[in-house]
Amino acid sequence: MSDTRQRIITATAELFRRQGYHGTSVKQVTEAAGAPFGSLYHFFPGGKEDLGDAVLRTSGQAYLELFEVIYDAAADPATAMTDFFDGAAAVLEETDYIDACPIGTVALEVASTNDRLRAATADVFDSWVAAVALRLESAGVERAAAAELAVTLIAAVEGGFMLSRAARSPEPMRIAGRSMRALVELALTNSVLGAPGRA
Amino acid sequence: MSDTRQRIITATAELFRRQGYHGTSVKQVTEAAGAPFGSLYHFFPGGKEDLGDAVLRTSGQAYLELFEVIYDAAADPATAMTDFFDGAAAVLEETDYIDACPIGTVALEVASTNDRLRAATADVFDSWVAAVALRLESAGVERAAAAELAVTLIAAVEGGFMLSRAARSPEPMRIAGRSMRALVELALTNSVLGAPGRA
C-alpha cells in the first residue's frame, strides 16, 4: 500500500473517532494526512464513501488484532475481559476520551443513511463476534452460548465507550468489564454443569 | 410549550435518530416541522446547539418514562430486562431500524466536539442509570451492586442498538436482553446469599 494512501487512512480513522463521518470533510482529511487534495480521489475514486469503507474495514481489522493480542495474553477468559475493558478505559483517559472504538460513531451515523457503509460496519462487528465466540468455545463454553455471549460482549464494549466518553470517566467501561467477567464465569460454570458425564 | 416549539423538537429528535447531529441541518429541521425557518431562532436563539440541548434532554426524559412504564409493568426485575430489550428490538424491526435510542448517535458525535451537548448526554445517561439502580435496589440487589449493574444495562442497551442497526436484525438486541436477564438473576441470588441473617 502506498505511503500516501496509508497516511490518508490513518488520518481519517482518527478524525472519525473524534468527530464521526458526517463531521469530517475530505478537505480535513487531506490536511491532516499532509496529502494533496487531489490524491484522495486518486486513491479513492468514489471519494468520501470509498474512503469510509476502507477506513472502517482497516480499523476494524486492527482493532480485532488488538483484542486477540490482549485475550491471548490473559491467564484465563474471565481475566481477559477485565484486561480488555480496563485497557480500553486507560486509553480513553490517556487520550482525553477520543481514542475509542474506531467504528462505533460511524456505525450509528450511517445505519440509516448509507447502506454500503452500514454493511461495512456489520461485517466488522461480525468479525469481532466470531473471534470472541471462537475463543469462548475453545475455553469450554457451549457453542450456542459462546455465540450469544460474544454478541453481548461487543455490545457492552460499544456501550461502555459511549457512557465513558459522555461522562469523561473510565468508570462505565471498567464496570462493563466487571459485568462481562461475571457473565463469562457464569457461562463457564454452566457449561461444566451442563456437560455430559459431569452433571 | 408552544405547538411550534414542540413540533421543532419532535422533528429534530427523529432526524437525530436517523442521521445524527452533524448530518442534520436547521433547514431540514424547519422543513420537517413545517415551521418558518426564522421560528427556530425565535425559540432557540443559540441555533442548532440550543436546539440540540433541548432535544437531548426532552428525548432522554421521554425514554426514561418509557423504561419506567415497561419495568413497572413487568412481573419481576429479570422479566423486565427481556421485556425492555425485546420491545426495543420489535420497535427497530417495525421502523426499518431507525427508531433506536434518541441520544446514542449524538452522544458519540459530540463527545469530543461539543462540551455543552456532551454534558447533556451525560446528564441523560445519569438519569437512566439512577432510575435503573433504584429499581434494582428496591428488588433486593445490594446498593453498590445495583449501581454497577445499572451502568452495564444502559451500556448493553446502547451497544444492542448499535449492533442491531448495523446488522438490520433484532437478534443482537434480544441477545443482550437475555444476557442482562442472567446478570440481574445473578445479582439477586448473590444479594440473597450475602444478606445478613440469611447466609
Query: Contact, B90 vs B150, CB < 8 A?
Result: no
Least CB–CB distance from A97: residue in B111, B156, B176 = B111
pTM for the full predicted model: 0.95
Residue B65 class from Cβ within 10 Å (0-12 exposed, 13-18 middle, 19+ buried)? Answer: exposed
Burial of A77 (0-12, 13-18, 19+ CB in 10 A): buried
Average pLDDT over residues B45-64: 96
CB of A31 within 8 Å of any CB in chain B? no
Specify the pLDDT at position B150.
98
**Mean model confidence pLDDT for chain B:** 94
Q: What is the pLDDT of residues A2-45, one digit of tens each?
A: 899 999 999 999 999 999 999 999 999 999 999 999 999 999 99
Q: pLDDT tens digits, chain A, 199 residues: what are they?
A: 589 999 999 999 999 999 999 999 999 999 999 999 999 999 999 999 999 999 999 999 999 999 999 999 999 999 999 999 999 999 999 999 999 998 999 999 999 999 999 999 999 999 999 999 999 999 999 999 999 999 999 999 999 999 999 999 999 999 999 999 999 999 999 887 765 544 3
Nearest to B108 among A20, A122, A172 (CB): A20
Q: Is B65 on the interface with A (CB under 8 A)?
A: no
Please give the torsion angle defined by the CA atoms of residues A190, A155, B153 and A82, in that order, rounded to the nearest 10 degrees: 60
Query: Nearest by CB to B183, which of A18, A109, A179?
Result: A179
- B8, B6, B12, B16: which is closest to B110 by C-alpha? B16
Residues in chain A with CB shorter than 8 Å from the CB of B18 are 112-113
Q: Is A107 on the interface with B (CB under 8 A)?
A: yes
Query: What's the CA gap between B126 and B179, in Å, rounded?
Result: 22
Round to whole Å and give the CA distance between A122 and A135: 20
B134 lies within 8 A of chain A by CB: no
Does the distance separating the beta carbons of A111 and B148 come in below 8 Å? no
- CB contact at 8 A, B76 and B179: no
Cβ(B58)–Cβ(A58) below 8 Å: no
| Contact (CB<8Å) A156/B151 | no
User: What is the Cβ-side half-sphere exposure of residue A63, based on CA atoms within 13 angstroms?
Assistant: 28
CATH topology of domain B55-194: Tetracycline Repressor; domain 2 (1.10.357)
- How far is the C-alpha of B24 from the C-alpha of A76, rounded, in Å? 45
pLDDT score at B158: 98
CA distance linking residue B60 with residue B90, whole number of Å:
20
Query: Which of A61, A160, A90 lies closest to B156 in space, CA to CA?
Result: A160
CA atoms within 13 A on the CB side of A124: 30
Task: Answer yes or no: are the C-beta atoms of B66 and B132 closer than 8 Å.
Answer: no
Instruction: Please state which of the four CATH numbers 1.10.357.10, 3.10.105.10, 1.10.760.10, 3.20.20.70 is assigned to the domain occupying A53-194.
Output: 1.10.357.10
Q: What is the ipTM of this complex?
A: 0.95
A24 → chain B, closest CA residue: B22
Which residues on A lie below 8 Å from B57 (Cβ)? none
- pLDDT at residue B195, rounded to an integer: 57
pLDDT of the residue at A143: 96
> Which chain A residue lies closest to B154 (C-alpha atoms)?
A159
For residue B100, give the chain A residue with the closest CA.
Answer: A108
- Three cell numbers written together for B113: 466536539
Residue B123 neighbours by CB under 8 Å, 6+ apart: B57, B60
Rounded distance between C-alpha atoms, residue A66 and residue A55, angstroms:
16
Tell me which DSSP letter residue A57 carries. Answer: H
| Cα–Cα distance for residue pair A101/A64, rounded to 1 Å | 11
Assess whether pLDDT exceeds 80 at residue B143: yes
pLDDT of residue A16: 95
Question: How many CB atoms lie under 10 A from the CB of residue A183?
Answer: 22
- Interface residue of A22, A129, A151, A180 to substitute, partner B, most B CBs within 10 Å: A151
d(CA B162, CA A98): 19
> What CA–CA distance (Å, rounded) separates B54 from A76?
46
